[in-house]
Amino acid sequence: MSNTTAFDALTAAWTNEELHDVNAAFYGRPPEELLSWAAECFGQQLVLTCSFGGASGMVLLDMVARLGTGTPILFLDTNLLFPETYALAELAARRYNVKIEHREPALTLAQQNYAEGPNLYARNPDRCCGIRKVAPLAKALRPYNAWISGIRRDQASTRAATDLVQWSSRHNLLKISPLAYWSEQDVWRYIHAHNVPYNRLLDQGYTSLGCEPCTQPSASHDLRAGRWAGLAKTECGIHL
Ligand code: SF4
């Protein structure tokens, strides 16, 4: 489909009709086509976030690098990630020859411990995620008009309504989820077909990766069961 001329893409909130048109136009088509359209539409106002935990983000990083659009890439570092996650971010930067923007919370861990007490994640994980994930992401996304995310419908009931493009009123931008309709099998098929690097903890019983204190291996069919195990919490808040 043609791009910006059909939509006031760069500033105003998209209408339901505009979103419907784009979702209908790209449904069932390869994610690369949506990524290509988004890059043409938004240029450097488009950003990809990659956690270097889940495999979906690595698929998108690979696709973006292959397209050669120069789309900015953001890595949100909570300072509590697994060593394997940091190692993958470094490896990916070399492999794809891309600059990965590293963003951290306003408070260091020591400052947070001083202000909130130690191990906030164990006492009030929502507040901890608010400080170390939600607020830093909101700040990092501020310069952009569109955000590419790796979330998929099959990951959790909270993500079952994910569409290819959605308006985020929280961030005042277009949220683009090119893998919204992909399955876990689709992701791994792509990873193996293109020899995409991925977090080695995914070979060790982890099905979803976040911060080290809040993530454990899981044999559940629920891909996010190993996150905040034992608590009702299933989302850090950045995709709500
Ligand atoms: S996942 Fe855990 S450690 Fe990480 S920000 Fe959330 S509560 Fe804190």
129 is catalytic: no
Which atom of ligand 1 has the smallest separation from the CA of 210? 1
236, part of any domain: no
Q: Given the structure tokens 């608590």, which residue do they identify? A: 231
Residue 238 Cβ contacting ligand 1 at under 6 Å: no
What CATH number corresponds to the domain at position 143? 3.40.50.620
236 lines ligand 1 (CB under 6 A): yes
Q: Which atom of ligand 1 is nearest to the CA of 131?
A: 5
Instruction: Tell me whether residue 100 is in a domain.
Output: yes
Rounded to the nearest whole angstrom, what is the distance from the C-alpha of residue 236 to the centroid of ligand 1?
Answer: 7
pTM: 0.92
Closest CA to 219 of 202, 232, 206: 206
Q: Is residue 227 part of a domain?
A: no
Per-residue pLDDT at 226: 77
Q: Can you tell me the distance from the alpha carbon of 197 to that of 98, in angstroms, rounded to the nearest whole number?
A: 14
At 240 the pLDDT is 73
Containing domain of residue 126, as a range? 4-214
pLDDT confidence of residue 8: 52
In a domain, 61, yes or no: yes
Specify the number of domains making up the chain.
1
Is 239 part of any domain? Answer: no
Q: What is the CA(43)–ligand 1 centre distance, in A? A: 32
Go through 81-105 and write b for each residue having 16 or more CB atoms within 10 A of its CB, e for each that does not: bbebbeebbeebbeebebebeebeb
Reference 159, options 76, 53, 63, 234; nearest CA is 234
In a domain, 141, yes or no: yes
Q: Which residues of the chain register pLDDT less than 50? A: 2-7
Best substitution site from 236, 238, 239, 240 to test ligand 1's pocket, by max atoms within 8 Å of Cβ? 236
State residue 60's pLDDT score: 98
Residue 58 has a pLDDT of: 98
Catalytic residue selected from 50, 211, 214, 236: 236
